[in-house]
Structure 1
């Protein structure tokens, strides 16, 4: 008698995905909260930014690799491998005795995290039909909102009651539970084909991403280009060229170039990258506005963007209904208008804008972003054959990471250039960069001379407006690019 095939427990697998997403999402906010304590313990303030940057860098480098492997050998083993690496990296981070060690171990953590988000989205695509997928992705996106709310609170509690090491150790039991749920309750029916592994494509793509993101990170740190930077970007271009060469000749390429012959697939990913680039401006610079201009505490800066996390879920539910009745092009046109309207508001609001208005603006952003990101992700999955869903999902995730990484560097250049220009021409004597750094931190702003606080706030206000002008241009560009998509999005039969 033939043995009956085990069925996936959809509910428990979905819970595992939500928990895994929360585990990686909370990592950013909880580490940010604990960073002052970590610096006090390990020192190394000059290289502290790399604690965050290296995590994003290795995450981005590994995302396309995991996406391809999930199509080759299944989602389950790749998710489990990524989660195990993430748990090991977390344990090592907790054991760190120097800032350099912490950065190295964060790189390992990022390598593991590179599997969790894209493979989670791919599993959702496997176990849910098209019409339910947007709703579940919206609920999964709620994990990011919950992380944004509870991450700082949890980080503060752990640092105060235990030690900063436990912000990493806490991932160990959570990761083990996630791994166990996926191992026991996700069952796949994969047919394995022995094909040569695309080593050249894999390593050339990883090298290209490494040089590209490293270059933008350094440019963002220094605010200027140098001969060395030109060399790094030249290496990135060279590696991308080698990658294209390898993919054209590979029997089973890591990212089939044929995907980019699909106009809808390309446009969806570009739009996702651009709106993610807009989103990073909101995440980084609205809290800076709250602290530097309104003089609020750091916690209030985080609270200002909390409505976005909550209304994002609503936007995802709207997308779930809309994709069944309207063309993808028209849905994105509408959502990008909503996002663009919020960008216009950030451009024109005065310095005296009350806190409550920021809550309304970020709530509006959440609706627009929820519709946009959910629609682009589901569409990118839907317009490729089933055996390429893993690659398509990881490509979408990679574009979003690239959009955020590149734009945060550009925003940094715009902000720093504007501040430097104002300080150089400022009529109030004695103003310098160190004072601006003190202004942004509410704990040190009280040390400033009361007579220069208002001029400093005006300088910061003008600089932030410059950032949000660039952010609006990014959304406008996404809207224009979306107009080149087909009116009706083609569906691909598996």
Structure 2
């Protein structure tokens, strides 16, 4: 195996472990409730995992500045696999507390792996080869939404739920071997300057005040308080970081293009959550397909996702705004096809294929734009922020799309059509944002 193939395979395995975790573990919640004799508190295993990811993501950029990236990757995988093993052992000890703590550890490792999955392609591959790599890595998220339920169902039918965590061990060992052998990159000179602890702490406060703002089951009063605190802290963070020579948040790396990309990625993450959560529910509960059949029906999304990234590098002569508009149009067409023709099952494979083209176009361009726009010394920090936006989009997206799914809309017959209507409106809003705010520049090649 040559070096490039080894790097790509390692990235795929790393991202697969991160991506499959939520979908595969969710199948085991009934068994966990029974084994631990608990009720709704089982949701803690998902909540603490996501909080740990959010907590760890911003730190990764600082680690990469100070430690060789190979060791940071190995650290992330090791933390993740230790958490996975102890999650499995909690079944033997019948300790729900151990499971929750282990999920925190696992989430911290996942936060490191997810962020590095966006940084490494920049260090290892030039454009246009990077488009293909990012497409392969990005399509793992779509594939995992299909493989996760199938693999998880198979394991639960023959073994107990602890093996859902043990399955990570052999994958991680292979990934570690590949990282040790192939992850040798040219990095900027490692820094030894003092960490901006003040900026880091304020940034965490901003993030967690936002999470409280969008959390479920809080009163209107507390939501207003959280909003005021969030705005105040954001202003304080901005003023603080402007005064620091080596800030935790590199304000100079932000421009209109990067800001648009972060907003776009956040909105697209909410749409991906809507698709991932509710399309299988619709196919299995409304159309009465088996998990395997529904997986095959929505598999064309991953095909479209991967296919478009193989040709993105050849489209660089097109205006960047035009490429994004095509991506938004593809989302509009796919969602509209399902909204108006959901009763015809033959429509869905075509529609999700087109939506896969949209996700592949937008996500891949977003990553590459941030990689190319940001100065090399700020790459780690900005990719951490990029990953954080994606994670927050996924976290808030699950709440948003669930609320939309149960809305009673008179001209919509199925809950999944609510989601498609949201995706149509979101694609229109993004078209308006890019049309009105983005100014084409030809100084860089994205």
**Above 0.5 in TM-score?**
yes
How far the C-alpha of 1:464 sits from its partner, in A, is 4.0
- Note if 1:360 corresponds to 2:360: no
Instruction: Output aligned runs, 1:83-162, within 5 Å.
Output: 83-96=77-90, 97-162=94-159
Which residue of 1 is the match for residue 19 of structure 2?
25
Please tell me whether the aligned partners of residues 84 and 102 of structure 2 are also in contact (alpha carbons under 8 angstroms): yes
- Note if 1:414 corresponds to 2:366: no
Which residue of 2 is the match for residue 199 of structure 1?
197
Change (3 A) 1:79 1:236: farther
Please tell me whether the aligned partners of residues 66 and 192 of structure 2 are also in contact (alpha carbons under 8 angstroms): no
Q: Deviations over 1:102-135 (max 9, x none)?
A: 2332122111111112212211111100221011
Which residue of 1 is the match for residue 72 of structure 2?
78
Which residue of 2 is the match for residue 337 of structure 1?
329
The CA distance in 2 between the partners of 1:211 and 1:418, in whole Å, is: 31
The CA distance in 2 between the partners of 1:303 and 1:43, in whole Å, is: 35
Which residue of 2 is the match for residue 186 of structure 1?
183
Change (3 A) 1:337 1:381: same
- Note if 1:308 corresponds to 2:301: yes
Bigger mean CA deviation after superposition, 51-60 or 164-173: 51-60
The CA distance in 1 between the partners of 2:66 and 2:442, in whole Å, is: 27
Which residue of 1 is the match for residue 341 of structure 2?
349
Q: Which has the larger radius of gyration?
A: 1
Which residue of 1 is the match for residue 319 of structure 2?
327
Change (3 A) 1:160 1:412: closer
Structure 1: which 5+ runs fail to align?
1-7, 423-457
How far the C-alpha of 1:374 sits from its partner, in A, is 0.5
Question: The residue matched to 2:28 in structure 1 has which SS?
Answer: helix
Bigger mean CA deviation after superposition, 240-249 or 380-389: 240-249
TM-score, scaled relative to structure 1? 0.82
Please tell me whether the aligned partners of residues 407 and 418 of structure 2 are also in contact (alpha carbons under 8 angstroms): no
- Note if 1:378 corresponds to 2:390: no
The CA distance in 2 between the partners of 1:179 and 1:297, in whole Å, is: 35
Bigger mean CA deviation after superposition, 90-99 or 264-273: 90-99
The CA distance in 2 between the partners of 1:239 and 1:176, in whole Å, is: 42
Which residue of 2 is the match for residue 440 of structure 1?
none
Bigger mean CA deviation after superposition, 295-304 or 188-197: 295-304
TM-score, scaled relative to structure 2? 0.90
Which residue of 2 is the match for residue 431 of structure 1?
none
Change (3 A) 1:303 1:58: farther
Please tell me whether the aligned partners of residues 82 and 112 of structure 1 are also in contact (alpha carbons under 8 angstroms): yes
Q: Deviations over 1:423-476 (max 9, x none)?
A: xxxxxxxxxxxxxxxxxxxxxxxxxxxxxxxxxxx9x83544334322222111
Which residue of 2 is the match for residue 5 of structure 1?
none
Which residue of 1 is the match for residue 208 of structure 2?
210
The CA distance in 1 between the partners of 2:293 and 2:32, in whole Å, is: 22
Bigger mean CA deviation after superposition, 314-323 or 364-373: 314-323
- Note if 1:473 corresponds to 2:425: yes
How far the C-alpha of 1:248 sits from its partner, in A, is 2.0
Question: The residue matched to 2:215 in structure 1 has which SS?
Answer: helix
Which residue of 2 is the match for residue 228 of structure 1?
222
Please tell me whether the aligned partners of residues 16 and 141 of structure 2 are also in contact (alpha carbons under 8 angstroms): yes
Question: The residue matched to 1:151 in structure 2 has which SS?
Answer: helix
Equivalent pairs counted in the alignment come to: 440
How far the C-alpha of 1:209 sits from its partner, in A, is 1.8
Please tell me whether the aligned partners of residues 145 and 310 of structure 1 are also in contact (alpha carbons under 8 angstroms): no
Question: The residue matched to 1:15 in structure 2 has which SS?
Answer: helix
Which residue of 2 is the match for residue 168 of structure 1?
165
The CA distance in 2 between the partners of 1:463 and 1:156, in whole Å, is: 25
Please tell me whether the aligned partners of residues 139 and 302 of structure 2 are also in contact (alpha carbons under 8 angstroms): yes
How far the C-alpha of 1:195 sits from its partner, in A, is 1.0
Please tell me whether the aligned partners of residues 142 and 309 of structure 1 are also in contact (alpha carbons under 8 angstroms): yes
How far the C-alpha of 1:387 sits from its partner, in A, is 2.1
Bigger mean CA deviation after superposition, 123-132 or 227-236: 227-236
Which residue of 1 is the match for residue 440 of structure 2?
487
RMSD (CA atoms) = 2.6
Please tell me whether the aligned partners of residues 337 and 347 of structure 2 are also in contact (alpha carbons under 8 angstroms): no
